[in-house]
Amino acid sequence: MTRILQNDSHGRFASLRVAVTGGTSGLGLALVRESLARGARVAFVARNREGVERVAREHGRAHGIVGDVSKKEDIHPIAMQIVGGLGGLDVLVNNASALGPTPLALLGDTDCEDFERALATNVLGPFRLTKALLGALAASARCGRGAVVLNVSSDAAIHAYPRWGAYGASKAALRHLSHVWNEELLAEGVSFLSLDPGDMDTPLHALAVPDSDPATLKRPEAAARELAEAIAAALPARSPGKAPRGAAAVEVDAS
């Protein structure tokens, strides 16, 4: 087995402080693992305590936080634990999502409560958490480490799919929110990305389309690699072999 020094996108992740919501399954868990593999320090958030404790045990370097981003009262405790656990924040991934009604329903048959849940999780949650963490992100940008917020989107944010109304409307709002925030904060060094990872073999997709063939869907691990590359591309360039201030270059195994 050969030891090689990773540079470029992997090198840019060395000692980054990354927070991921919805981090115990699907794409969120894949992003936690991908970020750790690239040398980042990671905090992840999820509602289920057992799931958080399980992932924390499996990945001892990850800091697990129990919280529900759809609940206003949970936001500041989550934000405080992220910043306290990581000592700051460089990258926030708003990944936690809710479909709305399950099974999926026509808009005219969608209960208001289901629509509200999609908006609370997919729009208000990311808005509130990002707002609570803007100070930490701006501080990271001022120090030259860079700051990136990735809001996980969907093609349902652009295309009007029947029965996906609650989810699509909420993701469309999040997509536009991302663009506005990027225009407002890019000069401060905080970049916002709104990216669609594609149809993946995840519990959320299985809940939405229970008869889908997993073999035809993208693996979450592949999507996580693609999103990590996009995050790395949005970070400030570094000199070859140079890690962020106070960090060491990371070596990984290559077989």
Confirm if 251 and 5 have CB atoms less than 8 A apart. yes
Q: Report the pLDDT value the prediction gives residue 3, as an integer from 0 to 100.
A: 33
Which residue's entry shows tokens 């360039």?
237
Q: Report the pLDDT value the prediction gives residue 47, as an integer from 0 to 100.
A: 97
Q: Report the pLDDT value the prediction gives residue 153, as an integer from 0 to 100.
A: 97
Confirm if 119 and 110 have CB atoms less than 8 A apart. no
Between the two ends of the chain, the Cα-to-Cα distance in Å is: 5
Annotation marks residue 161 as catalytic: no
Q: Report the pLDDT value the prediction gives residue 131, as an integer from 0 to 100.
A: 98
* pLDDT, tens digit, 9 for 90 and up, residues 170-183: 999 999 999 999 99
Helix (H, G, I), strand (E, B) or coil at 99: coil
Domain ranges of the chain: 2-238
* Displacement of CA 237 from its chain's centroid (Å): 21
The residues with which 223 forms a beta bridge, in sequence order, are: none
Q: Report the pLDDT value the prediction gives residue 237, as an integer from 0 to 100.
A: 74
pLDDT tens sequence for the chain (255 residues)? 333 334 455 678 888 999 999 999 999 999 999 999 999 999 999 999 999 999 999 999 999 999 999 999 999 999 999 999 999 999 999 999 999 999 999 999 999 999 999 999 999 999 999 999 999 999 999 999 999 999 999 999 999 999 999 999 999 999 999 999 999 999 999 999 999 999 887 888 888 888 888 888 889 999 999 999 999 999 987 544 444 443 332 222 222
Is 0.85 topped by the overall pTM?
A: yes
What tokens were used for 243? 């890690």
Q: Could you say which of 13, 115, 167, 192 is catalytic?
A: 167
Sequence-ordered alpha helix ranges (H) in the chain: 8-13, 26-37, 49-58, 72-86, 112-119, 125-142, 165-185, 203-208, 220-234
The CATH fold assigned to 2-238 is Rossmann fold (3.40.50)
Confirm if 122 and 202 have CB atoms less than 8 A apart. no
Confirm if 13 and 31 have CB atoms less than 8 A apart. no
Phi-psi bin for 180: left (phi > 0), alpha (psi -120 to 50), beta? alpha
Q: Report the pLDDT value the prediction gives residue 9, as an integer from 0 to 100.
A: 59
- Distance from C-alpha of 48 to C-alpha of 24, rounded to nearest angstrom: 9
Pairing assessment for the beta strands 62-66 and 41-46 based on DSSP bridges: parallel
